[in-house]
Amino acid sequence: MQHKDLICIKHLQLAELEEIWQLAGQIKDKQKRGIPYTPLQGKTLAMIFLKASTRTRISFEVGMYQLGGKGIYLNGNDIQLGRGETLADTARILSGYVDGILIRTFAQSDVEELARYAAIPVINGLTDLLHPCQIIADMFTIREKRGKLAGLKAAYIGDGNNVAHSWLYGAAVAGINLTVCTPKGYEPKAEIMVEASKMADNCRLELEHDPRKAAQDADVLYTDVWTSMGQEGEEGQRLTAFQGFQIDSALLNLAKPDALLMHCLPAHRGEEVSSEAIDGPHSIIFEQAQNRLPVQKAILALLLGKKYT
C-alpha cells in the first residue's frame, strides 16, 4: 500500500486492494490450518474508540495479537483526549510509543488531523462519514464467493450513511455496478456521489428510491441500520421514513436466484432486515463478519510492517 494511512477507499488503487485481499486470503488459510503468521512481533497499535464496537475492536485487537503484536484499547474517556488534549498533540505523543493508530470517532476531520500529525499509520475504524475497513472486508467476501467483483450488480438498500459512502468508493475502484436505494432525504452525500462517479470508469453508480427496482436482478443485496451511532435522537422519525425499505424474502425474490445478502452488523432484526432473511439461505452475513479478522490483519501487516522513520 502506498499511503501511510488508511482513511478512505478513494485513496487506494485497485492493485492495492488486490494486495490486501491476496494477503487476507493467505492469512485466512493460515488461520484455518493453525499456522502462525507473526510479522508484527514487538509492534503495538493504539485503538481509540469514541463509539461502541464489537467487530472492529475485536478483529483489530485479536488481529494484532495473532500477528505477534499488541493492540491497546483506549476508550475516549480514559485518555486525555476526552479532557481536551488536542488530536495533534495526541498524534505526536502516540507516534513515539506505538506503531499505528486505529480510531473510531464522529468527525472525519478527526481522522485526517490525527493522520496529519502522526508519524505512524492511522486507520479509520469508522466515522460518521466513512467505514473503509468494513467495505474492504466485504469486497473480499464477495470476491471469495463470486471469484470476481467487476461487473457484478449490487444494491445497497437503506440509509445513505458511512457504510453507503464507503460502498460507493469501493464499487468505483472495484468496478461493481452499485445502486444506492434510500428514502427521499436520506441519500448519500451529493459530493461523494459525484466524486465516486468520476472515479467509476468501468461501472455505474446510481441512486434509486424504489427498493423493488434496486433489488431487481442484483447479485448482492446489502443493508445497514437505519439509525447510526450518534443519530439516536432521530430514531422515531427514521423508523417512519424507512418503512418499506426492509430487506425480506419478497425483496430477495426479485434479486438473482443465487443473490448474496449482506449486512455490516449490528442488525436491528425486523427493521432494515427481516430475521428470516438474516437466517435464510441467501445470507452470508455471519461469514462476512468473520472475514473482518483476516482482512483487518492484512491491512495491519501491510501498514505496520513498513518503516516510517
Interface residues with ligand CP (CB under 6 A)? 53-56, 126, 134, 264-266
* 128, 133, 134, 203: the active-site residue: 134
* 264, 282, 288, 296: the active-site residue: 264
The item of ligand CP, ligand NVA, none sharing an interface with residue 295, based on CB under 5 to 8 Å by kind, is none
The item of ligand CP, ligand NVA, none sharing an interface with residue 54, based on CB under 5 to 8 Å by kind, is ligand CP
The item of ligand NVA, ligand CP, none sharing an interface with residue 177, based on CB under 5 to 8 Å by kind, is none
| Cα gap 109→131, rounded to integer Å | 14
SS3 state of residue 177: strand
Cell 423508523 locates to: 239
Q: Closest Cα to residue 133, out of 70, 234, 53, 189?
A: 53
| Cα gap 17→193, rounded to integer Å | 21
181 is catalytic: no
Q: Are strands 177-181 and 205-208 parallel, antiparallel or unpaired?
A: parallel
Cell of 74: 483506549
Q: Closest Cα to residue 160, out of 140, 177, 145, 180?
A: 180
The item of ligand CP, ligand NVA, none sharing an interface with residue 175, based on CB under 5 to 8 Å by kind, is none
- Closer by beta carbon to ligand CP, 216 or else 290: 290
The binding site for ligand NVA (CB under 6 A) comprises: 126, 161-163, 224-225, 228-229, 264
The item of ligand NVA, ligand CP, none sharing an interface with residue 274, based on CB under 5 to 8 Å by kind, is none
| Cα gap 278→264, rounded to integer Å | 12
- Closer by beta carbon to ligand NVA, 94 or else 289: 289
237 is catalytic: no
* 8, 110, 131, 263: the active-site residue: 131
- Closer by beta carbon to ligand NVA, 91 or else 164: 164
264 is catalytic: yes
- Closer by beta carbon to ligand CP, 22 or else 54: 54
Smallest distance from ligand NVA to CB 225, Å: 5
Q: Are strands 177-181 and 44-49 parallel, antiparallel or unpaired?
A: unpaired
Q: b/e string for 112-142 if b means 16 or more Cβ within 10 A? A: bbbbebbebbbbbbbbbbbbbbbbbbbbbbb
- When CB distances to ligand NVA are compared, the closest residue is 228
- Closer by beta carbon to ligand NVA, 91 or else 293: 293
Q: Closest Cα to residue 266, out of 293, 289, 299?
A: 289
Active site residues: 104, 131, 134, 224, 264, 292
